């Protein structure tokens, strides 16, 4: 085998991975491994392929192997943290983020991620609040960059004024988890909804719908965009449209194709169901989504206004309680 053959197969694996051909990428990376048996990049890319195919434990192991070869690689540490977050192994996630902070103590992204972890793990918004507040005091211009996180935090804390300011700073940008991206108009509709202002919510969701329909028309088979349209229609009370769009979004994003955005869309379909009054279906979808690695977590379910229609339902409250941190505090 030529000395550069491993490099060529590694590069081809990366190309196939970017084209979502995960089986092809896996075949190429196995060939690359023969001549690059201790190359961190091979383990790293293997971890990414595993993760996209829903092989989360294998992904974490490959990324850990990459880190053994390249122990101070912050990029790999970030990816390991993402894996543990999705596996809801928050203690390990915290340890990895703390390791990043030991290497880069002033890294704002790491400090923000550590704060977000406390929201997910313990439904504790204070650490994230403090990091955001401190950052904006030191650099007022950071408000726009932090707008997506500020919207998330304001919703969790039910701070309408903070949400309005964050949405204003968001401007024409979007926010949301991974491929699910919301506009400012959607955020304003959501804010009005949890404030109980039905007229304002309807107006904002109507505005959001016009733009989102254009996105869906341009990419009719793109699940994340259709999921957002379903949420908007749920906010507008268009029950049949919302349920159809939500179901189709789930179908278009199977776990075999995208194990990161698939569970996220499944969770948002549960929100759609809750918003249109289909509580049984919402609980069913939420239960399914929580059986998979993903972004759904204790803090989000306990704090987010999105889940308000299910509060008081014993099934929902039992789900939230089952996700609560198990450690006992004095």
Fold category of 1-101 in CATH: 1.25.40
Question: Over the stretch 120-160, which tens digit does the pLDDT of each residue have?
Answer: 999 999 999 999 999 999 999 999 999 999 999 999 999 99
Is the distance from CB of 322 to CB of 288 less than 8 angstroms?
no
Question: Over the stretch 156-205, which tens digit does the pLDDT of each residue have?
Answer: 999 999 999 999 999 999 999 999 999 999 999 999 999 999 999 999 99
Q: How far apart, in whole angstroms, are the C-alpha atoms of residue 107 and residue 109?
A: 6
- Torsion angle of the four alpha carbons 161, 163, 167, 168, in this order, in degrees rounded to the nearest 10: 20
Domain chopping of the chain, boundaries: 1-101, 106-174, 176-330
In order of 184, 185, 317, the CA distances from 209 in angstroms are 12, 9, 32
Q: What is the CATH number of domain 176-330?
A: 1.25.40
Report the predicted TM-score, pTM, of the whole model to 2 decimal places: 0.91
Model pLDDT, residue 87? 94
Is the pLDDT assigned to residue 317 strictly greater than 60?
A: yes
> Helices in 219-278 by DSSP H: which ranges?
223-235, 239-252, 261-275
Alpha carbons within 13 A on the beta-carbon side of 131: 22
Helix (H, G, I), strand (E, B) or coil at 53: coil
Residue 318's Cβ-count burial label (10 Å; 0-12, 13-18, 19+) is exposed
Model pLDDT, residue 294? 94
In order of 154, 206, 232, 291, 296, the CA distances from 316 in angstroms are 23, 30, 23, 15, 13
Is the distance from CB of 165 to CB of 151 less than 8 angstroms?
no
Question: Does this chain's domain 1-101 share its CATH topology with 176-330?
Answer: yes
Backbone conformation region of residue 171, classed left if phi is above 0, alpha if psi is from -120 to 50, else beta: left
Model pLDDT, residue 330? 36
Question: Over the stretch 21-69, which tens digit does the pLDDT of each residue have?
Answer: 999 999 999 999 998 998 999 999 999 999 988 888 899 999 999 999 9
């Amino acid at each position: 085998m030529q000395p550069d053959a491993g490099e060529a197969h590694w590069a081809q694996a990366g190309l196939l991975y970017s084209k979502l051909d995960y089986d092809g990428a896996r075949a190429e990376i196995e060939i690359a491994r023969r001549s690059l048996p201790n190359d961190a990049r091979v383990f790293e890319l293997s971890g990414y392929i595993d993760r996209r195919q829903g092989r989360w434990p294998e992904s974490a192991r490959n990324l850990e192997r990459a880190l053994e070869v390249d122990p101070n690689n912050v990029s790999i540490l970030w990816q390991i943290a993402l894996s543990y977050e999705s596996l809801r192994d928050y203690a390990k996630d915290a340890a990895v983020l703390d390791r990043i902070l030991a290497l880069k103590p002033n890294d704002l992204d790491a400090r923000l991620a550590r704060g977000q972890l406390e929201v997910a793990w313990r439904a504790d918004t204070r650490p994230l609040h403090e990091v955001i507040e401190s950052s904006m005091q030191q650099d007022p211009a950071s408000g726009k960059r932090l707008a997506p996180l500020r919207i998330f935090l304001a919703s969790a804390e039910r701070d309408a004024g903070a949400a309005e300011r964050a949405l204003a700073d968001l401007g024409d940008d979007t926010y949301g988890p991974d491929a699910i991206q919301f506009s400012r108009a959607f955020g304003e509709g959501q804010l009005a909804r949890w404030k109980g202002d039905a007229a304002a919510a309807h107006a904002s969701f109507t505005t959001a719908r016009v733009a989102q329909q254009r996105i869906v028309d341009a990419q009719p088979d793109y699940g994340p965009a259709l999921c957002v349209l379903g949420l908007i229609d749920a906010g507008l009370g268009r029950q049949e449209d919302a349920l159809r769009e939500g179901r189709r979004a789930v179908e278009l994003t199977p776990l075999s194709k995208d194990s990161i955005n698939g569970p996220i869309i499944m969770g948002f379909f549960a929100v759609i169901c809750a918003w249109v009054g289909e509580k049984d279906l919402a609980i069913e979808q939420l239960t399914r989504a929580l059986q998979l690695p993903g972004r759904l977590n204790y803090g989000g379910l306990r704090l987010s206004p999105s889940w308000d229609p299910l509060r008081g339902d014993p099934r929902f409250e039992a789900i939230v309680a089952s996700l609560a941190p198990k450690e006992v505090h004095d």
